[in-house]
Amino acid sequence: MADLSINLAGIKSPNPFWLASAPPTNTGYQVQRAFEAGWGGAVWKTLGDPIINTSSRFAAVNFNGQRVAGFNNIELITDRPLDVNLKEIYETKKRFPNHAVIASLMVEPTQEKWHEIVKRVEDVGVDGLELNFGCPHGMAERGMGAASGQQPDLVEAQTYWVKEVATTPVIVKLTPNITDITVTARHAVKGGADAISLINTINSLAGVDIHTWNTIPHIGGKGAHGGYCGPAVKPIALNMVAECARHPEVTVPISGIGGISTWQDVVEFMLMGSTAIQVCTAAMHHGFRIVEEMIDGLNNYLDEKGLASVTELTGKSVSKYSNWGDLNLNYKVVARINEDNCINCNKCHIACEDTSHQCIDMLTNAEGKAILQVREEDCVGCNLCSIVCPAEGAIDMVEVDSGLPPMTWNERQRVVGSLSGSYSKAEVL
Amino acid sequence: MEPTSPKAFFSPDMFMRNFAEAEPGLTRKGAAEESNRCLYCYDAPCIKACPTGINIPSFIKRIATDNLRGAAHTIMDSNPVGASCARVCPTEELCEGACVLNDASEPIEIGLLQRYATDWAMENDVQLFTAGSPNGKRVAVIGGGPAGLSAARELAREGFAAVIYEARELAGGLDTHGIVSFRLPQSVSLWEVEQVKKLGVEIRTGVKVGTDVTVEELKSEYDAIVLAAGMGYVPELGIPGEELAGVYDAIKLVESTKTGVSNLQLTGQRVAVIGAGNTAVDAATCSVRLGAANVKMVYRRTREEMTAYDFEYEFAKQEGVEFNWLTLPKRIVGDGLGNVTGLECVTMKLTGETGSDGRLKPMPVEGSEFIMPVDAVVLAIGQKRHTGLIEHLGLEHEWGVVKIDETTHRTSDPLIFAAGDIVFGFGKGEAMVVSAAQQGKTAAHAIIKQFLPQQDSVVGSAV
């Protein structure tokens, strides 16, 4: 059994599984149930001036009969009085002293407001603070959440105000609704953040009811944009985590968030630079018990890899994430079809024929059996056939020797530039 | 199945329960899950395995995307009796047998999905097709079974005036009369008949060609004729005792259960069914559900040679039917009052010699005669040929099998086309409903081509 405990900027937790600040962490009852189920930490549903939530709040995107591929919500921060939340945080921390309880905070962007709330929540014994600069709906329209999170100077200033009084580690939660998330990440660091967490939800409209023509969800016939999360957003989140992790000026630990549903997702987020992770949608879909399988899967994986501690995963793939201009253009893979495993659905053929490079032929072999064959000389190694192939082991993407030495686009441009005697501006960074 | 004691009164309620469709259809969720499992193969083998060439991945994708009208249209466009076929096709030998998922996991339940889509069309009383603008040509269709209905449907869509002559009171052929209700409720077949009628096809029921209307009249009134009269009842076996009370024709037995409560009851009786084809299995399971205490199938060959499908055999076993292989009936024994009391049989053995049909020849074992005590004997050894009608039409035939050109289904008379069981002969595969439907289409398309050579056909076009 590997050691699953982590330490994110001084916040200790028995395992890297935290519940994100969201409906699952609304009350002490819920957070305590989560800890009983095995979650190592919880970021309490955002505290601030209580608001009023709408009835009809969530919606999901289903895909090919599978429910909740993506999830959308228009619920705001806590709608319960601050006193009540603080009392429950105190009780929870008392019952679970070794679990991480982090208070998510969102107030108007003034120094006084931040000072006031930081002092009040730290008084009840939280392990850390998470500044919610990401909530994309409702609060943003009032200058909070994503509205302040989209302005790098406001991110920096508010982080600074918090750090002026905070005695516990400060995590800044970033919004993905921005062109380059590393900009706000850098400003959070400049403001003194001890860690960053990302991503918050992505602006979204879950759907339109094609029969009533109402938005999904609708509140008495009207809708508004919500925040998107769940498995569908994982690749977006993973990229943003990786971009932050590899940025030389983002020097603080990362709490990875975005569509994490399985232990494999956790491993991926940690390999790409996360010290810990946060989950919401998977718990909302299946209940807190889902953490049991995540813990067990992670444990078995670590044992299988011979890793003594989960912390050994953090950042191991970051150096492999690069710029397009630094990729070796002379690396070559081609598709190879294994007839023994092929079930002849012909999906590779039609995908290649219609939408890629027309190099998979439908043939009949000497025994009269229908077979599929790749013309390797025309294969560009796009992977599409292996992506659409439903049969295990039927298509391998095989590395072949291109006969050429490694050469990236940027190297090529430099060579071209030196030959023409002028500096090439066509490098891709 | 309700258990019945030998003397129990077989109530109408019990009849209705026993003869209600046995296999439950898919639920909405079941259909969603199953349809989403389909890989949507390109150049899919299931399409090629369907005699009518239904675009199966396409109709399944339509189910998956909640377009049941489109799914039903895709099915019925290729197969005018697609709702019946969803229930009676030997899918494991056709579409499902060809599914690429057979080895990978489990084949898609194509039959059940087809039923789900066509059930929707039935329940919602949807009219899927429209008649073409009249082209002035008239075609008589002899027989309103799957082949005749398919031919008439395709002709009507091209603007031909098609008139079906049906000897029975109801059209639909064996789908309506000859397949047990717990596999194929009559309402399904009658819905398909209704779909054809709604295209303006006139169905003259209770009219027998050669008796109620002459062949000459048909030839003079119509531009072409489609002969799709199928086959007849079960022929005599040619053994003593066939006249006894308690000897039944398998098709008539099934037929008696198709329209409401059968007045033929076998409560508590011991029944022997002679034969091992599709109809024999239907007659055997039908006998069970009519209250028989014991049903034995008597077949002179073995399980290997029986022509019933595996799923039919499995179903019969589940229903408690017993199988007496290598058993040849010699004589039906009576009690002197004209009632059946037994079936004298002789045990057979396979000689190892192969007959003209490729099956091993059975031979009687000398001195192995025995009497099987039974109260009823059901004959299911094939069907009679309509040789009289065929000769009346002046068509060339071989032992009652109309000779046709395989591509056009044209007979020796250039204006007469034949389809379905009437052209089904030995060594021509299996007499399936789905094949009859395809043959009806083929004959109709040949007529369309013959009379409207310049026109692009709308029939069979994509939705």
CATH number of the domain enclosing B429: 3.50.50.60
Residue of A nearest to B42 (CA): A346
Residue B352's pLDDT is 82
Q: How many domains does chain A have?
A: 2
The reply to whether B196 and B267 lie within a common domain is no
* pLDDT cut 90: percent of chain A above it: 91
Calculate mean pLDDT across residues B12-23: 92
Which of B46, B60, B100 is best to mutate for the A interface (most A CBs within 10 A)? B100
d(CA A60, CA A70): 6
Judge whether A410 lies within some domain: no
**Is A347 within 8 Å of B43 when comparing Cβ atoms?**
no
Q: Does one domain contain both B302 and B344?
A: yes
> Quick one: closest CA in B to A66, which residue?
B33
Question: Does residue B373 sit in the same domain as residue B388?
Answer: no
One domain for residues B177 and B290:
no
Indicate yes or no: CB of B42 within 8 angstroms of CB of A391: no
Cβ <8 Å between A65 and B64: yes
- Domain range holding A97? 6-319
At a CB cut-off of 8 Å and minimum separation 6, what does B239 contact? B329, B330, B331, B332
Would residue A407 count as lying in a domain? no
Of B401, B362, B360, the residue nearest B383 (C-alpha) = B401
pLDDT in tens, A194-231: 999 999 999 999 999 999 999 999 999 999 999 999 99
Answer yes or no: do B331 and B439 share one domain: no
Pair A314, A338 in one domain = no
Asked if pLDDT for residue B422 goes beyond 90, the answer is: yes
Distance set, CA A391 to CA A95, A351, A396, B101, B103 (Å): 50, 15, 11, 9, 10
Asked if pLDDT for residue A391 goes beyond 50, the answer is yes
Q: Are residues B361 and B445 in the same domain?
A: no
Burial of A111 (0-12, 13-18, 19+ CB in 10 A): middle
Judge if B277 and B214 occupy the same domain.
no
Are residues B205 and B151 both part of a single domain?
yes
**Chosen domain end from A286, A319, A352:** A319
> Looking at chain A, which residue has its C-alpha nearest residue B43?
A346
Q: Which of A66, A345, A392 sits opposite B41 (nearest CB)?
A: A345
One-letter identity of residue A351: A
Average pLDDT over residues A1-29: 97
Examine the domain organization and report whether A173 and A189 are in the same domain: yes
At residue A55, the pLDDT reads: 94
Contact (Cβ atoms closer than 8 angstroms) between residue A17 and residue A32 = no
| Residue B12 lies inside a defined structural domain of this protein | no
pLDDT(B459) > 60: no
Does residue A314 share a domain with residue A362?
no
In a domain, B111, yes or no: yes
Of B124, B156, B185, at which residue does a domain stop? B124
Residue B402: name the closest of B421, B423, B372, B384 by CA. B423
So what's the pLDDT on residue A283? Answer: 98
pLDDT greater at residue B154 or residue A142:
B154
CB contacts < 8 A, A to B, total 37
Out of B35, B42, B104, name the one closest to residue A347 (CB): B42
Q: Is residue B265 part of a domain?
A: yes
Q: Are A283 and A257 part of one and the same domain? A: yes
The per-residue pLDDT for B462 is 42
Domain region containing B205:
138-232+384-451
CATH number at residue A359: 3.30.70.20
Please indicate, yes or no, if residue B1 is contained in any of the structural domains: no
How far A65 CA lies from chain B's nearest CA (Å)? 6
Which residue shows structure tokens 């096809």? Answer: B201
Tell whether A62 is covered by a domain.
yes
In a domain? residue B263:
yes
Q: In chain A, which residues have their Cβ closer than 8 Å to the Cβ of B103?
A: 343
**Mean of pLDDT values over A23-32:** 98
Helices (H), B331-432: 387-392
Q: What is the mean pLDDT of residues B81-85?
A: 98
Q: Is residue A377 part of a domain?
A: yes
Residues A315 and A341 placed together within one structural domain of the fold: no
Both A292 and A340 in one domain: the answer is no
In a domain, B210, yes or no: yes
Q: Is residue A215 part of a domain?
A: yes
Question: For residue B422, what are its two tokens?
Answer: 């009437």
The per-residue pLDDT for A327 is: 97
Asked if residue B459 is part of any domain, the answer here is no
Query: Both A243 and A364 in a single domain?
Result: no
Do A388 and A304 belong together in one domain? no
A342 inside 8 A of chain B by CB: no
Report the pLDDT value the prediction gives residue B463, as an integer from 0 to 100.
40
Q: Judge: A346–B42 Cβ closer than 8 Å, yes or no.
A: yes
Domain count along chain B:
3
CB of A273 within 8 A of CB of A196? Answer: no
- Write the CATH number for A101: 3.20.20.70
Whether the CB of A356 is below 8 Å from some CB of chain B: the reply is: no
Single out the residue in B379, B403, B433 at which a domain terminates: B379
Shared domain for A101 and A198, answered yes or no, is yes
The arrangement of strands across the sheet holding B416-418 comes to B202-205, B161-166, B138-142, B224-227, B416-418
Per-residue pLDDT at B264:
85
Q: Classify each residue of B25-43 as buried b or exposed e, where b means 16 or more C-beta atoms within 10 Å of its C-beta.
A: bbeeeebbebbbbbbbbbe
- Residue of chain A with shortest Cα separation from B30: A65
Quick check: A347 and B104 CB within 8 A? no
Note whether A294 and A351 are same-domain residues. no
- Phi, psi values for residue B350, rounded to 5°: -80, 135
Q: Check B41 against A64: CB less than 8 A apart.
A: no
ipTM of the complex: 0.91
Looking at the structure, do residues B183 and B291 belong to the same domain, yes or no?
no
Asked whether B61 and B32 are in contact (CB, 8 A), the reply is no
A345·B36 Cβ contact <8 A: no
Which chain A residues contact residue B100 at CB under 8 A?
A: 343-345
Q: What is the mean pLDDT of residues A248-277?
A: 98
Are B282 and B367 within one domain? Answer: yes
* Banded pLDDT at A417 (limits 50, 70, 90): confident
Calculate what percentage of chain B has a pLDDT beyond 90: 87
Distance CA A272, CA B224 (A): 75
A344 in contact with B, Cβ within 8 Å: yes
- Residue A138, pLDDT > 80, answer no
Q: Is residue B462 part of a domain?
A: no
Task: Please tell me whether residues B366 and B390 are part of one structural domain.
Answer: no
Active site residues of A: 135
Task: Specify whether A244 is located in the same domain as A97.
Answer: yes
Look up the CATH number of the domain holding residue B38.
1.10.1060.10
Nearest CA to CA, how far is A207 from chain B (Å)?
A: 15
- H or E element at residue B371: strand B370-373
A409 belongs to a structural domain: no
Q: Are residues A163 and A288 in the same domain?
A: yes
- Of residues A361 and B261, more confidently modeled: A361
**In a shared domain, residues B209 and B87:** no
Among A269, A297, A319, which residue terminates a domain? A319
Report yes or no on A58 lying in a domain.
Answer: yes
In a domain, A60, yes or no: yes
User: B104–A349: do the CB atoms touch at under 8 Å?
Assistant: no
Q: Is the pLDDT of residue B4 over 50?
A: no
pLDDT computed for residue B265 by the predictor: 82
Tell me the sheet residues that pair with A128: A102
Mutate to test the interface with B, among A345, A356, A363, A392 (most CBs of B within 10 A): A345
